[in-house]
A and B are shown apart, each in its own frame.
Chain A
């Protein structure tokens, strides 16, 4: 069938600058570039280009640039080029449209409509370069009250605290599974988390035994496929996360195609080489809240009650009630993943339409747990499209204890959010299991770039906190009086629990 699809991008090559070095040919995993020996010219197939910018970045003479194809279609606010192309694609394939990364539509974000406070006159702002500014965060269940005796000024604590995770910055790396991303990326995340005093999440594909040495900074995930889950794995991590859902694709499972299941991945996932790794939509041993309780306690038993157990859900309509049930079922951490959460592969229609914005989910879950007097029994970790320290700070002010970042971490490693992760051919060596491509990530450099990112964001958070006049993050957490809203309805302000700017 002849494809009616126009190419999305146009490759422009400055022939004066091009030295025919063929770097672009080698770098492009989509075979966009080729060298015609007979005519000594470089040629490119525009229709293959995904605009990942790999060739542009690597071209030694800056001869390349990629332009968006202005498009053959007439402007139409309803029948946009994207929609016309999607329909043609489906007419030609009869399949579900796949995509990668998080929702790319602008209408699902609240961060820009929330503004942060600063001190003026009546209280002093604090200079984080000259005074302590504390962002350390502990995740895990906290008691209602402490019992203690005081003898000769010496405090004798009688209450024993549940196990806690110690974060030197309230930012962790979110779940990305081995198989979806390469070993080198996993190692970069693991080393960066270790160095920055935070945690990385293994995702649902297990943890390669070579990375167990970073286990003290790992949150090991248990998902519906149970890939790579065994006693050593559970005990290797600092915490365990039960994955119920994911913001990019609430309510559905996952699919790692067999061609991506190489030796190492097969061993780690405990499946035969080359077989598809299918994660069922639900966890088939969790059809109700009491089933979740059983799994939480099975995992706690397996690790002798030494590790906090997190339960991750996609932010959906009834998140607040569900979260309350999860806390009562014994979860020490509630991870919420909003509608803008990212993924290696998801049906586009689900990514862009299912779930609710993380801002609203944080606000309603935090408030519900407070209304029920159980907010202290679990920490809240928010995920789903955090792009800057400003987003992180606002999430914490709304009521999150910490956030997970994934897209931002991958961007730090080279990702340009071209949304083609599902092809397995990531030219930046990130979302691939191809050993030749994945060498493009050097864990030494990767870890350094990630640590730099965390350091930069942490300093910015401290700067903003100092401006607000608070020198400890617990005074920011849930402190919605430091936020004001703009361009929102009364209902939106009410759910977020913030006042209108100027009020």
Chain B
């Protein structure tokens, strides 16, 4: 079992793409759907807002650009280091507690970012329990915690909230290929660290980058956490321009700049990657590296610490706040709210997964222009949720007026909005895993006379399995947490837990929102636990 030069040979993308061009057209319906709201954003430039722009440039831009860059750099570095390290341990090593820690490490995804933010603000604030206790003992403020208010606090929260994207995607990639490559490298007598850096890491690079891209786009589009911590970013400026200056046009122009900036970054990354060797296939049968002594202690210890910070402490605080209302958990309208959250999440996640598969079909080993189109189709994730929701609502209403339909206000519109917003969340994991499927497998199967559907079911699906599971899981928890589009597009009576949290926190009464938050996290935990196990067991 060795990684030979033949495995690493570069494939010529156009050679394979010429054989089956038809599937690429699967992209078109998706592209049309997504481009409607994006066009709405770009149309804003038709009316110049020079007055507002002059104001923004003079008084806000320097600070905003500095703050936003700081966020991108620190959160990007943080989620990459934490996510990759934890994923490598979970996927390829053996140490005490691994099987329990693995799903727990994904659980922060079930917390909406603003919930995590208000919990930590409650815990660490000057008037919160820790600082109050400290002042009681020492008669002075703990310098470290005071400093945490901002920007360190907001960076800390965002890293805790977003590292699971890198973790999940890198983990799927390591499981389906990293370990075999690592063993091969070790068998050639190369030390563990160089092997990891030079073999395992490059193989997982597309997956890591896809996870990092998700995390950074979430960071750029985040409004909840940064506004709770009072940290001004590009996104807070978008909302200040809209709500404060009553200038939605200029706000949308700001958002479209953000969108183009992200598109350029994504394409640059894509095209710098495509000239490098592609990784090899997955190999089953690799053995986990058994960690012993201090190594095992360090592995378990670091993961336990992370789970404490990102899951246990927030959960304890939520339970403490929700405690007086805990009997209401299944009373009143709660069952209906839980029901519609689950229904919307499942239907939405399945739609998003289908969209992701279409994107994969259209872009996998495709010429550059198709990949670029795919990136455009998946841009919805890079736009602050409320701005995108308005753009989607406007385009549906315009479409209704033009076609005489009644999409807006119906469930279909909401599901389509989820597709536009989250298709990248499904495409990323699929793309990360599909990069390592060798076309030879399909050719062998074809030469053995296996029918098209059999090939799909018995070759493609098992090979893609970790990616499919990851994509579905991510879409599921993302939709359960989604707020702006749900608020704006839900039909009457369709309330989700996120909507309920919003309604209770509009005036910063965090404690009231603890109960629905807790239920949301518990609901999110179920698919995390089930699916993570499945993704590991499939060989």
Partners in one complex: no
- Chain A residues in the interface with B (C-beta under 8 A): none
